[in-house]
Amino acid sequence: MKQRSAVLSTAVLLLSLSGCILPGMSTRNDYSGLPPIQTFADDIHDIMMPAEMEWDRTRSMTIKTESFHGGVWHYSGKVETMSLKDYMLNAMQDSKWKLVGEAASSDIMFAFVKPHKTCMMVISEGDFRSTRLTLYVTIDKTAAVKLNPFGEPAAPLPPPSPQKQEQRQEQTEQQAVQPLDDLSY
């Protein structure tokens, strides 16, 4: 009898230590009503990252100068590739990025633009059911505030002289009148 209760006590102890519970019981709190916490890509506040994606500092690099900000950011997480694709597409469009290109093979690539900004992203399958996301971002800070690459105020181009305007007009008219059979290849 003592052996039986010792075996039963040991089994209960092992089951509780291994995390097994009775059906219908849960040890986790239900947070399904709370939205996931989103983060930003570095300090670029118009590129949202899902909470499940973790930044890989060792593979990422950034550059910040007076006129330029950009870099390559690597993320990985346990998310479905197509789910991440849909999330990033919606998040970028919500942040007013314009999708200008998309390609897919074993990886998925998006190209987005904003005035003075570009962002290319590659979504790929990682190891052990993880998904990788790589961002290539460039921001021309001088164009946004009308500075030249040296950080000086950019002077507007002077209007062309009347002679230059006439020359351009003549060249345009000559090109428009030129017959196709006179073109040499």
**How many Å apart are CA 109 and CA 102, to the nearest integer?**
6
User: What CATH number corresponds to the domain at position 112?
Assistant: 3.30.310
For 148, other C-beta atoms within 10 Å of its C-beta total 12
Give the model's pLDDT for residue 119: 94
Q: Residue 140 burial by CB count (10 A; 0-12/13-18/19+): exposed, middle or buried?
A: middle
Per-residue pLDDT of the chain (185 residues; tens, 9 = 90+): 555 555 445 544 444 444 444 344 333 333 333 344 455 555 577 888 888 899 898 999 988 888 888 999 999 999 999 999 999 999 999 999 999 999 989 999 999 999 889 999 999 998 778 899 999 999 887 776 666 655 566 666 667 778 877 877 777 776 665 555 555 54
User: Could you tell me how far CA 171 lies from the centroid of its own chain?
Assistant: 45
Residue 114 lies in a domain: yes
Structural domain boundaries, residue 123: 36-144
Residue 78 lies in a domain: yes
Residue 138 lies in a domain: yes
Residue 170 lies in a domain: no
Query: Domains in the chain: how many in total?
Result: 1
For 86, other C-beta atoms within 10 Å of its C-beta total 11
Could you give the maximum distance between any two Cα atoms of the chain, in Å? 113
* 127 close to 52: Cβ distance less than 8 angstroms: no
Give the model's pLDDT for residue 144: 63
Residue 83 lies in a domain: yes
Residue 1 lies in a domain: no
Residue 125 lies in a domain: yes
